[in-house]
Structure 1
Amino acid sequence: MIPILYFLFPAAIAAVSSWTLTPLTALIATRLGAIDQPGGRKLHTRPIPRIGGVAVVAAAVMSGTILLVVPGFEETFPPNLAFAMLVGAFPIFTVSLFDDVSPVRAITRLGVQIISAIIVVVFGVHVYPDIHLFGTTFHIGILSIPITVLWIVGVTNAFNLADGLDGLSAGLALISAISFSALGMMTGGPKLAALPLVLVGALVGFLPFNLYPARVFLGDCGATAIGFWLACLGLRSGSALSSGVAILVPVLVLGVPIADTLVAVARRTVRSFSAGGHGLFIADRDHIHHRLLSRGLHHPRAVLFLYSVASVGAAVAVASTFVTSRNAALLLVTLIAAAFIGVSRLKYDEFAVLRGGALLRVYDVPVLRLSIFPVFFDLALVALALYGAIGLKFDDWRVQSSRMLALQLLAIGPATALSAFSLCGLYRGSWKHASVEDLFRSSVAVAIATALGFLGSALLLGDAAPVSLFVIYGMLLQVFVNGTRSSLRLLLYFKHREAADGDAVLIYGAGAAGALALREFLTNRDHSMKPVGFIDDDPRKRGRFLNGYPILGAVDVLEQAVLEQQLKGVVLASSKIDPQSISVVRSICSQHDIRLMKFSVELSSVDSRAALMPQALAGMKA
């Protein structure tokens, strides 16, 4: 049994060494000119030394050497992992240190990182050929080598990219190192916990100088070396587990830096296609931590928030080793869903599929404008509905036992469906401005198609196809046909709603005129108005929604809404509002210095001899 002192003592040495060396590195940085100047995308307002990572690396190496050479410590860690981390980090640290003093090309840094990753693989530290995921073992064979290289290079850069706020990268690394130490203690005892604890100690000694307002930065040399070491520790931790999400545990432990890197790569890739020439390696101020600042979080609070998120991810990683594979999968799905929701709240333009109208470009493809296209598309929908019905009815998703029936129905279904669709006029007119009447007509067409299909089946196949099969088929076809034909209107609605920008206004009148006003404001950006809801004198409408927008109540809630919603205007959309209520609204608007407007639709005669000029019928009067 290894005494607890044997693996805590080197960590304590690392903490003291790092705390002592950090001020010295700041002085050396000043002499070398390794100073991070303010300006541009930088958030700090004064020059700050940026090779503080030298102190962290030096402290970790000195303390790790104790584990290597001092008698009594040689059994506290796997030596091949320690040698791999030490030798592999040297090229990365050296090139990054040069980069802190004088810029080095990105492709050169990437090449060195790949070399360091290969060194680690040569030492035998890599993803195991057999990996465990959700209670199942997958054999990946030789693919474990490129996966290892990709993992190490990715995590190395992730911590470098995360070094954008004071104390962020070092703090996230500390949380990760503590988590790997805990996982090591659970899977291999002190022997696997000692090495991560050395890094914990080095970071604890450095953090007081790096927290907001920072007196020294990690620099590329520190961030990349720490990221490299954590990637190596993650390889050993993930491979040592055989339960829960196993191989994904290191991903969860290093969740925040990895998520930030994936988001950065994804949005820069999208931007490179849409903005013409902006590459993956062009720095910007759109990282997750930058977005948090732009959303109003103060610098230290943004860092603490990301610490909290990282701690939750690490806790889930550790917890997954104690639960069943099913529960571990639920934890993972929950965490991924939370991450997607969180990123969506940051409002990245590159990911604004609905707000940016990216999906609407599909409808501009020339082939979709051909009159024959809807016919072939409906054939595919009929086949898909038949397949779904057979799968749901007979639980035969591979269509093995019911293959003959499926082939027979494929001969009947498309013919009856296209006949019904043509009879009901689905191929006449445009669906761009589809109305309720159009959807009703398509619903009737599907009902007729289903009935004709059943009659045809009964005449030709007898009782081979039960009624319940056609009920399922009709329901699926109803969803597919109406869904595809109303998809353009739905996408346009979401685009207008998501992209709505301008002055926040409240619409008075939650009726037909109010709905028309809402639609006008959403579709016509010239008004520069963003509806936030309705008020209405009818008490029965309070708490309900009109076209997705809340009906807050009557005039008595207007003043509260002005303060809470930061309103810039109120729009009178109904002609039935009594004068007394209008006087109250006018008084509140005057008191808070906001606009009071009236929305109306006018139809007037035009002199037949005059030139007819196109003009909007919808008008607003202040």
Structure 2
Amino acid sequence: MLYGLAATAAALFLAALLTEGLRALAVRTGVLDRPGAHKGHTRPTPHFGGVAVVTATLTVAAIGPWDVPVPLLAAGGAVALTGLVDDLRPLGARPRLAVETGAAAVVAYDTGLTLLTGVLAVGWIVFVTNAFNLLDNSDGAMGAVGAVTALGLAPCAVAADRPGLAVVLCLLAAALGGFLVHNWHPARIFLGDCGSLFTGFVLASAAVAVHAGSTPAQAAGGLLTLTLVVTADTALVVASRRRAGRPLLLGGTDHIAHRLRRLGLTVQGAAVVLGLAAAAGTGAGILIHRGVLPPSAALVFVAGALLAVVRLLKVRVYGTTRAPARTRTPAIETAQVRA
């Protein structure tokens, strides 16, 4: 117990220190992101915070005495590396999706899923990976949601007799916490595609792994509630852009965090609301996984999310001009606009 707490603290402080070091290095070398209005920043900002999160998580996981899920971490590392390359020199959507699909297939095979459930799991992991990447659009938002989700998945991993996976999730939550010290508004550094894709992939893979022995209904209910915020954000953006006749891959200020700010919340307030929503969904996911709540309880949370999406669709976010060409967008939104 004490060793686990010490490891979690180590991941938190290591991520915080590495983030500050990477920020200073990026400023000195001029390797900066130009986010424009997309993230509420007007000045160039470093975007390699994800390297600190990935390094802290993998390093502490590797040096501990626990039996960590090596295939999952190796696959997550490959996704993170792809994200880093994308941060340095933009890739197309196809190479990213190819790596993510291959990495997800490794996790599905290692989990021992059947062919049909494996295919479904791969699709789900790729979807959630990119949904987390999409959520990285406002200071503190994705870090808060990712940390809360990781902490919620940890007890599920313990209940599923996957203690090594629980350790990794706690380390990831701690590393995101260390990063948030620098990413809380006004952010001095961004996560980047490296960190957001890695976080989404690890969380999606962990969610699939802990539900491998569950009934189909229990697994569906758990997966939906555990990823409720990122799923709702993606659904909102897709519906909004289709209604407006805008390209789906064109970045913009039309995510949940942006709409909450238009309703009067501060940047910090929007991040807190998203974190609390993630906590509610994650809590429900834990109870469904443990059998305290029936899988049908997920429908209540899905209905609530749909109502929120419908309400937020009424918030006006599109102007008469196109988004700036130098707008910073997450990886999945960069087919047409890229920093």
TM-score, scaled relative to structure 2: 0.85
Q: Any idea what SS the aligned residue of 1:114 has?
A: helix
1:114 equivalent in alignment to 2:101: yes
Aligned to 1:255: 228
Contact residue 244 and residue 323 of structure 1 kept, 8 A: no
Q: Any idea what SS the aligned residue of 1:346 has?
A: helix
Separation in 2, partners of 1:165, 1:346: 16
Aligned to 2:266: 298
Separation in 1, partners of 2:163, 2:91: 40
Alpha-carbon displacement from aligned partner over 1:446-481 (angstroms, at most 9, x marks no partner): xxxxxxxxxxxxxxxxxxxxxxxxxxxxxxxxxxxx
Separation in 2, partners of 1:95, 1:38: 20
Aligned to 2:336: none
1:19 equivalent in alignment to 2:16: yes
Aligned to 1:59: 56
1:226 is matched with which residue: 199, 206, 217? Answer: 199
1:149 is matched with which residue: 122, 126, 149? Answer: 122
Q: Write the letter of the residue equivalent to 2:170.
A: L
Separation in 2, partners of 1:290, 1:211: 16
Q: Write the letter of the residue equivalent to 1:344.
A: V
Q: Write the letter of the residue equivalent to 1:163.
A: D
Alpha-carbon displacement from aligned partner over 1:506-543 (angstroms, at most 9, x marks no partner): xxxxxxxxxxxxxxxxxxxxxxxxxxxxxxxxxxxxxx
Q: 1:36 and 1:185, CA in 2 relative to 1: closer, same or farther beyond 3 A?
A: same
Larger radius of gyration: 1
Q: Any idea what SS the aligned residue of 2:43 has?
A: coil
Q: 1:323 and 1:83, CA in 2 relative to 1: closer, same or farther beyond 3 A?
A: closer
Q: 1:321 and 1:117, CA in 2 relative to 1: closer, same or farther beyond 3 A?
A: closer
Q: 1:192 and 1:49, CA in 2 relative to 1: closer, same or farther beyond 3 A?
A: closer
Aligned to 2:325: none
Separation in 1, partners of 2:265, 2:208: 34
Aligned to 1:279: 247
Q: Please, which runs of 5 or more residues in structure 2 have no aligned partner?
A: 317-339
Q: Write the letter of the residue equivalent to 1:11.
A: T
1:213 is matched with which residue: 167, 186, 190? Answer: 186
Residue 6 (structure 1) shift: 4.1
After superposing the two structures, state which structure 1 stretch, 241-250 or 148-157, moved more: 241-250
Q: Write the letter of the residue equivalent to 1:39.
A: G
Q: Please, which runs of 5 or more residues in structure 1 have no aligned partner?
A: 68-72, 130-141, 351-622
Contact residue 48 and residue 191 of structure 2 kept, 8 A: yes
Separation in 2, partners of 1:251, 1:203: 22
Residue 162 (structure 1) shift: 0.5
Alpha-carbon displacement from aligned partner over 1:551-590 (angstroms, at most 9, x marks no partner): xxxxxxxxxxxxxxxxxxxxxxxxxxxxxxxxxxxxxxxx
Q: Any idea what SS the aligned residue of 2:111 has?
A: coil
Contact residue 244 and residue 321 of structure 1 kept, 8 A: no
Contact residue 34 and residue 100 of structure 1 kept, 8 A: no
Separation in 2, partners of 1:115, 1:191: 23
Alpha-carbon displacement from aligned partner over 1:341-386 (angstroms, at most 9, x marks no partner): 1111113499xxxxxxxxxxxxxxxxxxxxxxxxxxxxxxxxxxxx
Residue 48 (structure 1) shift: 1.5
Aligned to 1:93: 80
Residue 111 (structure 1) shift: 2.2
Q: 1:97 and 1:321, CA in 2 relative to 1: closer, same or farther beyond 3 A?
A: closer
Q: Write the letter of the residue equivalent to 1:218.
A: L
Separation in 1, partners of 2:59, 2:154: 19
Q: Write the letter of the residue equivalent to 1:98.
A: V
Residue 12 (structure 1) shift: 2.2
- Paired residues for 1:594-613 under 5 Å: none
Alpha-carbon displacement from aligned partner over 1:376-416 (angstroms, at most 9, x marks no partner): xxxxxxxxxxxxxxxxxxxxxxxxxxxxxxxxxxxxxxxxx
Q: Write the letter of the residue equivalent to 1:311.
A: A
Contact residue 34 and residue 51 of structure 1 kept, 8 A: no
Separation in 1, partners of 2:120, 2:240: 23
Separation in 1, partners of 2:29, 2:134: 23
TM-score, scaled relative to structure 1: 0.48
Separation in 2, partners of 1:338, 1:247: 17
Residue 107 (structure 1) shift: 2.6
Alpha-carbon displacement from aligned partner over 1:16-66 (angstroms, at most 9, x marks no partner): 211211111112323554322242434113222110111110011111111
Aligned to 1:312: 280
Separation in 2, partners of 1:114, 1:90: 14
Contact residue 125 and residue 201 of structure 2 kept, 8 A: yes
- Paired residues for 1:547-558 under 5 Å: none
Separation in 1, partners of 2:54, 2:290: 33
1:328 is matched with which residue: 294, 306, 318? Answer: 294
Q: 1:215 and 1:118, CA in 2 relative to 1: closer, same or farther beyond 3 A?
A: same
Aligned to 2:331: none
Q: 1:32 and 1:226, CA in 2 relative to 1: closer, same or farther beyond 3 A?
A: farther
Q: Write the letter of the residue equivalent to 2:284.
A: V
Residue 314 (structure 1) shift: 0.9
1:84 equivalent in alignment to 2:84: no
Contact residue 151 and residue 231 of structure 1 kept, 8 A: yes
Aligned to 1:48: 45
Residue 160 (structure 1) shift: 0.8
Q: 1:30 and 1:100, CA in 2 relative to 1: closer, same or farther beyond 3 A?
A: farther
Q: Write the letter of the residue equivalent to 2:72.
A: M
Separation in 2, partners of 1:94, 1:283: 23
Q: Any idea what SS the aligned residue of 2:40 has?
A: coil
Aligned to 2:306: 340
Q: 1:291 and 1:9, CA in 2 relative to 1: closer, same or farther beyond 3 A?
A: same
Q: 1:226 and 1:322, CA in 2 relative to 1: closer, same or farther beyond 3 A?
A: closer
Name the structure, 1 or 2, with higher relative contact order (CA <8 Å, separation 6+): 2
Separation in 2, partners of 1:224, 1:333: 27
Separation in 2, partners of 1:171, 1:252: 16
1:172 is matched with which residue: 117, 142, 145? Answer: 145
Separation in 2, partners of 1:153, 1:323: 27
Residue 112 (structure 1) shift: 2.2
Structure number with the higher strand fraction is 1
Q: Any idea what SS the aligned residue of 1:239 has?
A: coil
Contact residue 51 and residue 218 of structure 1 kept, 8 A: yes
Separation in 2, partners of 1:317, 1:26: 36
Q: 1:305 and 1:290, CA in 2 relative to 1: closer, same or farther beyond 3 A?
A: same
Q: Write the letter of the residue equivalent to 1:90.
A: G
